[in-house]
Chains A and B, each alone.
Chain A
Amino acid sequence: MTALSLERGLAALRDEIDAPVAAFFSSCVHCGLCAQACPFYVETGDPKYTPILKVEPLRLLWEQELSLWGRLKAMLGIGRKVTDEMLEEWEPLLYDSCTMCGRCSMVCPVGNDIQSMVRKTREGMVASGHAPAGLIEASARAIRTGSPMGLTWKTLEAQIKHVESSSGLEVPVDREGVEYLALLSSMEVINFPEYLEAITRIFHHAGVTWTLSKDYFEATNAGVQIGSKDIAAALVQRIVDVVVRLRVRGVISPECGHAYTAVRWEGPNLIEKPYPFEVLHIIELLDKLRAEGRLKTEGKEIDRLSMHDPCNLARKSGVIDQQRNLMGLVAESFVDLKEHGRFQWCCGAGGGVSSNERADELRMAAFKRKKAQIEEIEPDRMVTMCATCRTQLEEGLEEFNMDIPVVGLTEIIADHLVEKGKPA
């Protein structure tokens, strides 16, 4: 790496340091409790995965440049300098062993939001040329094709035709003036095509007007995962452009966790202005429809169901009760995992970890925390509402020979809709 790219990285880090970061670093007492909140530490027992250590480059820069005492120490030559070698050493800590699940931020006794600092530190990693190949490729594909997996409209179109013939309903495309623009995640389109049919049937049932857009259908944001505000902003802008063109009232984020936080919470800050529209996760919308009495369901699942809360949806976005309200509609025997909602444990695959092949082994190690939680409850099936979590749960459960199917909540709701014209 050149001195220039290191300088760029340091400048990006500097740009990320704000009052909360300074308060966090001023307060850390090295108690190590954040490690106890991290699935990567808990399941490997390796202290190098202690969350606060993952943001050491950011701390050093803050101390040496933005605190008087630190500047004096730096002048005396005390303390490590942030070098290219250091950033290289930190790359796997920031990308392979952190899903930015935010559990450490919820547990830290001095109140440090460590997850937010990992997100910030990744900006410096990208700018200095230290991001994992898998995420670089995904970001490049997202910018080039609109999808981090390189999925084209043609593939989606084939799926739309399939949904239309099996449901007998139309999947609206580029329809102007409707209520909602539905976004999809590529992983969902590839792994869980049943989602599109489910929303088509639910929206028809509840009388929701909606559309997909040929111009842009991707909800996920590789820029947020890798830590590049430029890429992230460009992807958010594509969504905003479609919304403006189609004059829709809102955007529906699919069963994906990070897509929701990216478009709901980071998006307006990335483009530096408020949205003229609302953003809802599909689960939020379904719960709204339920509350308005627009979801008529019949029958219930009778097997023992439990639920995995996606970190981005629950802890990082406050969507916690909604999925439980919906489960109440369709499940007779629902039991929560012991630590759930804001204290749920990450599946181990989010935050770009699943796009980073180098992290495959660690990803499975971190999954063992989820596995232990599932074993405590012994459900017949797991329900979730994020395609990345779902894929990870399916892979993990298979890896450990646990015969527990994983289903998406939206599909279960669609399966229990009262058919139009039939008495409830």
Chain B
Amino acid sequence: MSDPMGFLLWVKGPMFDWALAIFAIGLAVRIVEIFMLGRKLNYAEPRGGEAGPGFRTMITRTVADPGTLARAPFDVVVGLVWHVGFLIALLLFIPHIELINSILGITWPGLPNPVVDAVVAVTIVALVASLIHRVSHSVKKHISTFEDYLVWVVTFLPLITGYLAYHRLINPYPLALGLHIFSVEIFLILLPFTKLTHIFTAFIARWYTGATFGRKGVVS
């Protein structure tokens, strides 16, 4: 582990297994914990369905309403840009698809490397802008905690290390790749214990809210 190749083998081997195990078990606990709390029976006569509106809201909340977009254009646009950019880098970069294929045996078409490269550059800029916004906007500054900054760092690291590795800006390459994989492992390990869980639980939250409003005949 003292040499770059040893480091790469370690992050690809035992460390990867640990990260994946902590992520999977931690996330499972978080989700089971939520559902175990259950919901009380609702005796009010419904005006509309729950399931359909729930699933609808799971998708529609991704895009802000026009009023919110007008009042907080930075949050809405920059937030959407870096989330989409992060997902493109994660899921449409050909080496990532090949990695997933080697583990899960499923594949899909990717984007040309220069396109993903440009997307990552935009995503990095958007993330930096969102950090500046967090420390300068009165509401964000007021509600931010240590965890918000920690999560920003662990979200930023896979992007920046990936970008540096792709452009061969860290040498030797095994070290660059090793750091990138290591940063992803930190992300996975922290995911169940921080607000990163929203990647999964936001869809549960959206379903409940969509269902609650749907029951009353309101599109949410």
Closest Cβ of chain B to A281, distance in Å, is: 12
Is B64 an interface residue when CB atoms closer than 8 A count as contact? yes
Which B residues are CB-close (under 8 A) to A315? 218
Pair B143/A50 contact, Cβ less than 8 Å: yes
Given A19-B39, A318-B216, does the pair A36, B65 have CB atoms closer than 8 Å?
Answer: no
Pair B39/A18 contact, Cβ less than 8 Å: yes
Closest Cβ of chain B to A368, distance in Å, is: 15
Q: Which of A21, A111, A269 is close to B37, meaning CB atoms less than 8 Å apart?
A: A21
Pair A339/B67 contact, Cβ less than 8 Å: yes
Pair B44/A342 contact, Cβ less than 8 Å: no
Given A264-B44, A265-B44, A343-B65, does the pair A35, B30 have CB atoms closer than 8 Å?
Answer: no
Q: How many residue pairs, one in A and one in B, have C-beta atoms under 8 Å apart?
A: 180
Pair B44/A269 contact, Cβ less than 8 Å: yes
Pair A69/B192 contact, Cβ less than 8 Å: yes
Q: Give residues of chain B (20-59) contacting chain A, Cβ–Cβ below 8 Å.
A: 26, 29-30, 33-45, 47-48, 57-58
Pair B143/A317 contact, Cβ less than 8 Å: no
Is A66 an interface residue when CB atoms closer than 8 A count as contact? yes
Q: Mask for A12-40, Cβ within 8 A of B = 1, else 0?
A: 00000111111110111111110111000
Which B residues are CB-close (under 8 A) to A399? none
Chain A residue with the shortest CB-CB distance to B43: A268
Pair B210/A30 contact, Cβ less than 8 Å: no
Which A residues are CB-close (under 8 A) to B216? 265, 316-318
State the CA gap A24–B143 with chains docked (Å): 16
Q: Give residues of chain A (261-320) contacting chain B, Cβ–Cβ below 8 Å.
A: 264-269, 272-275, 278, 314-318, 320
Which A residues are CB-close (under 8 A) to B10? none
Q: Mask for B53-84, Cβ within 8 A of A = 1, else 0?
A: 00001100110110110011001100100000
Pair A23/B44 contact, Cβ less than 8 Å: no
Is B138 an interface residue when CB atoms closer than 8 A count as contact? yes
Of A102-110, A129-137, A352-360, which binds chain B?
A102-110
Q: Which of B37, B65, B75, B193 is close to A31, meaning CB atoms less than 8 Å apart?
A: B75
Closest Cβ of chain A to B209, distance in Å, is: 4
Pair B65/A50 contact, Cβ less than 8 Å: no
Q: How many residues of A contact B (CB 8 A)?
A: 62
State the CA gap A30–B37 with chains docked (Å): 24
Of the four ranges (under 10, 10 to 19, 20 to 34, 35 or more), the interface on chain B belongs to 35 or more
Pair A107/B218 contact, Cβ less than 8 Å: no
Q: Which of B38, B39, B71 is close to A36, meaning CB atoms less than 8 Å apart?
A: B71
Is B141 an interface residue when CB atoms closer than 8 A count as contact? yes
Is A41 an interface residue when CB atoms closer than 8 A count as contact? yes
Which B residues are CB-close (under 8 A) to A343? 65, 67
Closest Cβ of chain A to B103, distance in Å, is: 27
Which B residues are CB-close (under 8 A) to A23? 34, 201, 204-205, 208
Q: Which of B37, B139, B192 is close to A35, meaning CB atoms less than 8 Å apart?
A: B139
Closest Cβ of chain A to B211, distance in Å, is: 9
Closest Cβ of chain B to A34, distance in Å, is: 9
Is A184 an interface residue when CB atoms closer than 8 A count as contact? no
Given A53-B143, A106-B65, A318-B216, does the pair A273, B72 have CB atoms closer than 8 Å?
Answer: no
Chain B residue with the shortest CB-CB distance to A270: B43
Is A152 an interface residue when CB atoms closer than 8 A count as contact? no
Pair B37/A22 contact, Cβ less than 8 Å: yes
Which A residues are CB-close (under 8 A) to B117? none
Can you give 6 A-B contacts (C-beta < 8 A)? A20-B209, A23-B201, A108-B209, A269-B43, A317-B218, A338-B67
Residues of A within 8 A of B (CB): 17-24, 26-33, 35-37, 41-42, 45, 47-48, 50, 52-53, 66-69, 105-113, 116, 264-269, 272-275, 278, 314-318, 320, 338-339, 342-343
Residues of B within 8 A of A (CB): 26, 29-30, 33-45, 47-48, 57-58, 61-62, 64-65, 67-68, 71-72, 75-76, 79, 137-145, 148, 192-193, 195, 197-198, 201-210, 212-213, 216-220
